[in-house]
Chain A
Amino acid sequence: MNRKKGFYLMNRIFLVFMLLVILLIALLFYVISLPLNRGTYLFLLLFIFTIAVILYLSYRWIYIPYKESNKVLRLFSDGYIFKGVFDLRVHFNHESFLAMQKFKEIIDTKELIEGSKKHAEYLALQNQINPHFLYNTLEGIRSEAIIEGVESIANMTEALETFFRYTISDMDKLATLEEEIANVENYCTIQRFRFGEKINFKIECPEEYDLEIFQAKIPKLTLQPIVENAIFHGIEPKMGKGLVTLKILTTPSRLLITISDNGVGMEEEYVHLLNYKLKGASLTYIKKDKETGGIALLNVNNRIKLIFGDEYGIYLYSKAGAGTDVEITLPLIR
C-alpha cells in the first residue's frame, strides 16, 4: 500500500487539538499557582468541569466515530466489505458524504455483478467445452448404447440437453429453488453415467415445510458449481460410495442451504484461508491462477454478496477425512 508523504488532514486537526488541550492544562496550572480565594475556587471548579465535558464530548462525538469510520475504510481496503463503505454511521463532512454517494453511483455495482455473471458463464462454458467433460460424457453414452440399447442413450441425451439449456440461458433473472435443484439433479444424473452408483444425491427439508419453499428465488447457477466441487474435490478422490446432501432451512428473512458431502474433506488451514476469502466480495480472484482453488465457490459467493449485500454469502466447514459442508445464506425471496 502506498503511503502518502506528509500529514493527513485529520492528523493536522488532532495536532491542533492536542496543542489546545496542552494550552488549557497549562492555563489550569497557572490558575492553581495563583493565590486562591473563593472566586478562584469557583472559577477553577468551572474550568475543570468545562475541560472534562469538552474532553468527554470530543471522545464520544469525534474520536469514536473517527475510529469507526477509519475501521470501515480499512476493512474496505482489505476486501472484507464492499457496500458497507457507503453507509458510514458518521461521515467526515457533508461534502465527503456527497462524494461517497457519487462514488457509489459511478462504480455502480451492476457492472461488478455483470463481471461476476460473465465469469460464471465463462466457468459454465468452460465446462461445456472441457474436452474431459465432453469425452467422458460421450464415452458414457457410447458404453450405455452398447450395453443397454436405445432408451438409456435417450435419457442421457435428454439430461445433457436440459443441463446445457439451463446453463446457457439468461443469467440475469433469479431462478426458483426448484429449478436450481432440478438442474443439480440433472447434473448428478450426467455424472452418474461416469461414476455410476458412487454419486448419490439427496435433499433434506423439514417435514413441516410446505412446497412453497421451493418457489423461493435464488441467483441462477448457485447450487450446481458447489455440487460440482463436492463431486470432483470431495467424492472423486474418495474410496467407496459418495453422498451429496442438500439441506434446506428457512427463517422469516433468510434461506439457508447447506450442501454437504462425505468426501475427503480439506486441510484445516485451507478451509480457514477459503473462509477468509469468502468474507468479502472482490473480483481479484478472477485474475488469479486457477490453481489457487475455490474459484467456483468464490464466484458464487461474490454474486450473492453483490446482489444481496455483505451479510449474505458462503461459509465452509471441513476437515481432512470428514467431508465438507458448504453453507449458503441468502435472503428469502418468494
Chain B
Amino acid sequence: MTETSNKPVQGPVLDSLPTYEKAWATPPGWRKLSSVSHRVVGQRFIVTGLIFFLIAGMLAILVRTQLIVPENTFLDAETYNQVFTMHGTLMMFLFAIPILEGFGVYLLPLMLGARDLIFPRLGAFGYWCYLFGGLIVLASFLFDAAPDGGWFMYTPLSTKEYTPGLSADFWLIGITFAEIASVTAAVEIIAAILCTRAPGMSLAKMPIFGWYMLVTAFMIAVGFPPLIIGSILLEIERVLGLPFFDPAMGGDPLLWQHLFWLFGHPEVYIIFLPAAGMVATMLPTFVGKPLFGYGFAVAAVVTMGFISFGLWAHHMFSTGLPTVTLSLFSAASTVVTIPTGVQIFCFILTMAQARPRLTVPMLFILGFLFIFVLGGLTGVMLASVPFNWQAHDSYFVVAHLHYVLIGGMVFPLIGAFYYWTPHFTGRMMSERLGKWAFWLMFIGFHVTFFLMHITGLRGMPRRIATYPEGIGWDRLNMLSSIGSYILAAGVLIFVWDFIAHRWRGPLAPRDPWKAGTLEWLYAPIAPGHNFHAIPRVHSREPLWDQPELLENEAHEIEGMLRDAPHGRRETVGCHPVSGEPLQIVRLPHPTWVPMITAFFVAVSAVALLASFYYVAAAALGATLIGFAVWAWEKSETGQTVDTGPEGILPVDIASRLGHTYIAVIGTLLIMVALFASILFGVLYLWNVQPDFTRRAGDPDLLWIVLAVVAGAALTAMAYLARRNGYVLYDIVIAVLAGGACWALYQALRPVTPDQTALAATLWVMAGFVAVQLFVLGYWSVFNVLRKVFGLAGKGQRIPEVNRAPYALVTFLMLVAAAVMLGAPQLGVFA
C-alpha cells in the first residue's frame, strides 16, 4: 500500500493487486494528456471552464467601467460591442454548460458506483472539441475580428451584408464546434446514468443528482440541435449566398430567432438544472437529513425539462407575432413556475427538517435560494406580454437574467467548488476566505444588479456604449459599477483560495462533510478507478444507511470486480431501470486518438474560416479515419467474467439493454432533433412566404420514389442483419445507402437552391438525409473490414443490433423529406 504523508496522496494503490492497479494507472508526465479517465477529463472541463469564466468576468468589468459615468470614452462603441458580445458568448457557451458538464463527468461515476464514464474516449474527444472551439472563438481577438453582434447573432445584422468581415464566422464556426462537446457529453451521460450504476441502485434509489443530470442530458440532446442547424444555415448564407434569412428571396430573419431561442430558452434550464442538482445533493448533507420530497423533485425536474421547450418565443414578444401566439407562450412561461416552485419548496422543507450547518457551501446555497427566487419573480413579470413590451431590451431584463443565471448557477457552482474540491485535491478550502468570498459576492451582486431593475424601468436600453448625462441613470450606473467591482473582489478571493489551498489547505479527512453519497467512500484523493470493489447499494444515501461502508477501509469493502487479472479496465453494466448487474463493460485505456481526431476537426474549422476548402475537406477525411482507428477493436462480446459476489456475467452484450444500443438511441435523439429543426425551417418558410413555394423548380418525383424504395430496402436489410452477421448484408446496405443518396441528388437537381430560401432549405434537408445515409454506408463498410480482418466473429453482433434503429430513423427522415419535396407538385402543399 502507498505510504501516508502530509501531502494528499491518491489511492490507496494496493501491492496485492499489481495488474489491476497498473491497468488503471494514469500515464505520468506529458502523457497524461492521453488520459481518457472521467476524473482527468472532468477536471479539465472544470478548470478550462473556470478560465473562460474569469476571462468573461474581466470583459464584464470592462463593460461596467465603460458605463460608470455618462459620456465615457474608456471604450469606443465598436470595442464595446465586441466586449459585451464576447462576455455573453463565453459565459453561456464556454463557461456555464461545459463546467457543469465537467462536474457531471467527474462526479457521476463516483456517485453511481462506476469506475469510469461509459465512453471515456467520447468524453475526451468532447473536451478537446470544446477547448479548440473556445480557442477559435477567443482567437478572433487576435485578428481584430471579435464578434460584435450580440451573443444571439441576430440576422440580418450578422449576415454578410451588414457584418462583412470574419467576426460572425468566428462565432458560428467556433461555437458550433464547441457544441459538439456538449452533445457528445449528453450521449455519454445518458448512457452512463442508465447503464453503469452500482448493483441494487434502481432508478428509485439513484442519487438525485443523477436525475438532474439525466434530464439535463436529454435537454441538451434536443435543445442544442436547433442552434447547430441555425448556425449552419447562417454560415452557408454567409459563404455561399443561399438566402435563408433574406425576405426578398422568400427567407425570414425571424427564422433565425426561432432556431436560436428554441435552443436559447431551454439552455437557461440546462444551466439551472445541474446547479440545482448540486444544491439537492449538498443541502441534505448540511441538514443531516435526506432531501425532502424526492418524488416531488423528480416530478419537478421532468416537467421542467419538457415545459422549458415551450417558452422560446417569450424572447420574441416584440417581433410582431400574432397576439394569440404571444398568449400561448405567455401561458407556458407562467406555468413553468409551478415545477420550479415545487423544487424550491423541496429545498426549503429539507432545511426545515433540522438546523443546517452554516458552512461555506451552505452559505452559497442560501444565497442561491434568495437570489434565484427573486429572479424567478421578475421572470413571472416578464412572462406578461404588456409588461414585457415595456421592459423589452431594457436593463430590467439584464437584471432579471443575471439574477436567474448568477443566482441559479454561479452561487451553487461556487458552493460546489467548496464542497467537492477536497475530492479533487485532497485538501480543504478555507472557511474564512470562503465566507469573505460569499459576502462580497452576495453584496456586490445585489448592488450591481438590483439597481439595474430601476435603471431599466427608467428606460435605459441594453447594449448601448454610453448614455447622456442627467436623465436619471448616472448614479444608478455608478453604483452598479461599484457593485460589480465588489462582486469581482469576491470572485478573486474564491479563485485565490482555489489556487492557494493546494499548498496551505488542511488535509481532507474521509467523508469531510459527513455526506451520504458514494463519492465520499474513500478518503480524498480517491483512486483513479474509484472503487477496488463495487459495493451493492440499498439506499440513496449509502454512506448513511449502510454503516459497513464507513466502518471498514474503503479498499476492503465487499463488492464486485475486485482485481483484474486480465489487465483490462472494466466496470459493471446494469439494467437501465432496476440497476441489477447485467454485463461487464470493457473500458478503453489511455489513447491519443480522441485528441488527434478533435484536432483534425479543429483544422477543418479553421480551414473553413480561412476559405481553404480543400484543406477543410482533407481534414474531415482525416477525422473519419480517426473515428475508424478509434473503433478498430476486436469484439469481446461472448466472453464472461467472474465478478465475485454477483456471479459470472457476460462482456459487452448485444442487446437493447446494452450501453452501446442506448448510446445509439441517444445519438438518434440528437439526429431527430437536428432533422426536426430543418423540417421546422421548411414548414416555417413555406407558411410565412407562400409566394415562393415552387419558384425555384420542382424536384423529380420518380427519383424521389426511387430514393424511398432504396431506403426501405436498406432498412429491411439492416433488420435482417441483426439475426446473423453475413458480410453480404453489410455490402448491400452500403450499396443501397449510396443508391438512395444518388437518387436524392437526382431528385433535387431541377431545384435551384440560390433562387429561394425554401429551395435552399430543401437542399439542406436532403443533404442532412444524405449524411445519415453516408453514416450507414460508412458503418457497413467498416463492419465488412472488421469481419474480414477477424475483429468480429460469429455471434458478435453489436454493430448490427445498433445499426437497425439508425437505419429505421434514417428511412423515416427520408420519407419526411420525400413528402416535403414531392407534395407541392401533387397539390398537397401547393
A in complex with B: no
